[in-house]
Structure 1
């Protein structure tokens, strides 16, 4: 935590149904390392309108937003930037003197990673999942020029809805798809009852060109481990969560930390 807290300290926060520690550890590490008079704290709420009103009234500088608040907060804000408008989902609120602006740095992070890894928009893809984060990933791919792909989702209603939004097809199962970019945006591979499951089969991974698992904790999911064993390029959820958090930090503070400092903050937050 920052070495000083006084009347001039700026508060940043997060709102989530189940607050975690990553954002708190990551942001406060950077505040301290850069000697910025900020502090970050995670919250949950049963009254979203009051919480957003508190951000405005108390001068809270920024707020990270997680499910189930990413869409519900939009009518409570004053402006929505393109990154959030593209997917009707906000994961970051910035307070400029009582004027609340919504962004989506998940969308921004995925866009950056696809470009960084040089994945061709001509690559046929299979994206497993149809929730809020799946929407951010699918729309980032759509806007990067990807046009050949399937949304793989057991829930037909949400799967078809996301497929229509992103310009892809919907299927309840990935069997038989000729997908060369595999993307998991479900809890498969996280800690708990699905911790050891594969989001895609070994045969599907074997023919893929790139494997992308958005699960951040653990970063080495069964899918990522298998892809590494098969010498496939991988994009991990840890990369996504760090990149989106860096963009939030920049929006809150106006300061962009260098890559070495970001790596140390990420190791601290993920450790």
Structure 2
């Protein structure tokens, strides 16, 4: 990277409990390639209201928001885009001369990917997970016309609440059910995690599925995706989600939409960090 921030540089940041490097490398790579005087930095905070107030006070253009701040941020902004209002959760804040507008580009990315992959909304699915990202995915499915779904979650309260919000069923375990689309929105399969080698669904369920969607982005080929590809299933990967949601953040911050070749190069650069 050869970016050299100056007093005129437009600053964008992210707030997360555990800041990662993907966004830093993705955004800064595109800023450099497109000749934009922007700089992106990942941060964390113990005082969310003060951090959001700092966006206004310091003229920070944009802020990515990760767990555990996605819902708490909603009361701290001036306007909420439909993408965030749909799920009562945000992941992006844009500062327009002191007016803060919240978006959810996770939700936007999932909706775009379902359309891009031409997944039939009549496809029944099982979604494993009940956290903030599961909410974004479930609401994106609902708003894309998917009416037949199961939320699979051991936490009954959270699972039932998400199911009720979206009009789906809830089960603690999938057992012998084999829906045509399987969606993992848990940390199972995440590199470096306690369950890095585990499958989010059984071999029987994967073998019977038509579609497998894993929101875990690192590695790109999680155990679930690798098994699905070995069985010649259609897949949507977490890397596709993280790349597309980061792209939509980039466009919101800069007003510039890179070419697909530029995006692909930025994703490759970010992955190798």
Q: TM-score range by the shorter chain?
A: over 0.9
How far apart, CA to CA, are the structure 2 residues paired with 1:166 and 1:217? 28
Query: What are the equivalent positions in structure 2 for 1:21-60 lying under 5 Å apart?
Result: 21-60=21-60
CA contact (8 A) 2:15 2:63 kept: yes
Gaps of 5+ in 2: none
User: Using the alignment, how far apart are the partners of 2:22 and 2:160 within structure 1?
Assistant: 32
Question: 2-side partners of 1:90 and 1:118: how far apart?
Answer: 26
Find the counterpart in structure 2 of residue 3 from structure 1.
3
CA distance in 1, matches of 2:38, 2:121: 40
Q: CA RMSD in A?
A: 0.8
Aligned to 1:90: 90
Secondary structure of 1:32's match?
Answer: helix
Q: Secondary structure at the match of 2:94?
A: strand
Partner of 2:253: 252
- Paired residue for 2:228? 227
Cross-structure match for 2:271? 270
TM-fit CA distance, 1:184: 0.1
Structure 1 runs (4+) deviating above 2 angstroms are 1-4
Deviations 1:49-88 (A, max 9, x none): 0000000110000000000000000000000000000000
SS at match of 1:73: helix
Whether the aligned pair in 1 keeps the contact of 2:150 and 2:168 (CA below 8 Å) is yes
1:171 aligns with 2:171: yes
State the alpha-carbon separation in 2 of the partners of residues 109 and 208 from structure 1: 23
Q: Which residue of 2 aligns with 1:197?
A: 198
Contact 2:178 2:204 in 1 (8 A): no
In structure 1, the partner of 2:240 is 239
> How far apart are residue 178 of structure 1 and its match?
3.5
1:227-255 deviation per Cα after TM superposition (whole angstroms, max 9, x unaligned): 00000010000000000000000000000
1:149–1:168: 8 Å Cα contact kept in structure 2?
yes
Question: What TM-score, normalized by structure 2, do the two folds share?
Answer: 0.98
Q: Aligned partners of 1:36, 1:53: CA distance in 2, in Å? A: 25
Q: How far apart, in 1, do the equivalents of 2:194 and 2:92 lie?
A: 30
In the TM superposition, 1:69-148 aligns within 5 A as: 69-148=69-148
Give deviations 1:6-51, integer Å, cap 9, x for gaps: 2210000000000000000000000000000000000000000000
What CA distance in whole angstroms lies between the structure 2 residues aligned with 1:10 and 1:170?
A: 45
**Offset from partner CA, 1:104-152 (integer Å, 9 cap, x none):** 0000000000001111111110000000000000000000011101000
| SS of match in other structure, 1:264 | helix
SS at match of 2:72: coil
Does structure 2 conserve the Cα–Cα contact (< 8 Å) formed by 1:2 and 1:39?
A: no
Q: What TM-score do the two structures reach when normalised by structure 1?
A: 0.99
What's the CA shift for 1:95? 0.1
| CA deviation after TM superposition for structure 1 residue 2, in Å | 5.3
Q: Structure 2: how far apart are the matches of 1:176 and 1:77?
A: 45
Query: Alpha-carbon deviations, 1:195-231, whole Å to 9, x = none?
Result: 1100011110111110000000111100000000000
For residue 182 of structure 1, what is the aligned residue in structure 2?
A: 182
Q: Which residue of 2 aligns with 1:64?
A: 64
CA shift for structure 1 position 193? 1.7
Shifted more, 188-197 versus 10-19: the winner is 188-197
Q: 1:3 Cα shift?
A: 3.0
Structure 1, unaligned stretches of length 5 or more?
none
